Structure 1
Amino acid sequence: MTEDGIAALLARYEFGDACVRRVVLDQEFGPQGRGRVARLVIDARVIDEGLRWEPVCLDLFGVDRFRIDESGDFAWTLYDPPQFTRFDGLMQVDLCAERFGNLHPSNAQEAFEGSELVFAATDGSWSALHPWES
């Protein structure tokens, strides 16, 4: 996921009251496998389309480390947009970025400390999904 791809994601969606619907972890094997992968499906609002709800998918490849805190206090609601940082050749995707305010973590360890939902991966992509069936 390039800086342009991240900027396009953040420009398309309002994440202020978005909801994480699904987290799927998988392990790919074989010569073409990308190792551990994660798929996150988030209901977010499309900024340029009257803030209508749309599921957006974040696919993370080569997931090296992740933290999913399933504590009772975390309702899988996002208060801020995901925060993307890069340390040691990996991209950190923190879905609990409100704890930093306008700041960014200074290293990979800080990106994981205190977050309830964070991933470190070699690469990623995002795409819009068809709306959920009623």
Structure 2
Amino acid sequence: MRRAGVLLLLLAACDGWPESPKPAPPAAPPEGAVPRGAAARARDLAAPGPPVDAGLLARGADRYAIHCTPCHGARGAGDGVVVSRGHPPIPPLPADPARSVAAIGTNLGGAHAMADKLDPRDRWAVARHVEALMRAAP
């Protein structure tokens, strides 16, 4: 019983401990600093991209269906469901794969950029899928 009383007294005394100091905000990187992996990312985004094969095209079709179809439509004509619900017309992605990779990353049309959602290989996959869509368009 006496131990329980001592323990209770010790726990009650813990209430007055000072707060941990808050960490300082991170300093701005020095001028000219390059983020880790930037060179590899730039290399992965450089034309001509990965070799085009059935797997890359299938991955591109899958990623396009998830990320691009709501706005650009299944055929890439800019007639996705958001347009049918009142969004202003959306331009199609460029058929040139290198331009598509840039457009996908920064979304030149002013909507949602996909650089944080699609890694470089997936951007190339989508670009190659768009290229195939534009070739098949009447």
- Select the structure of larger CA radius of gyration: 2
Structure 2 length normalisation: TM-score? Answer: 0.25
Higher helix residue share: 2
Specify which structure has the higher proportion of strand. 1
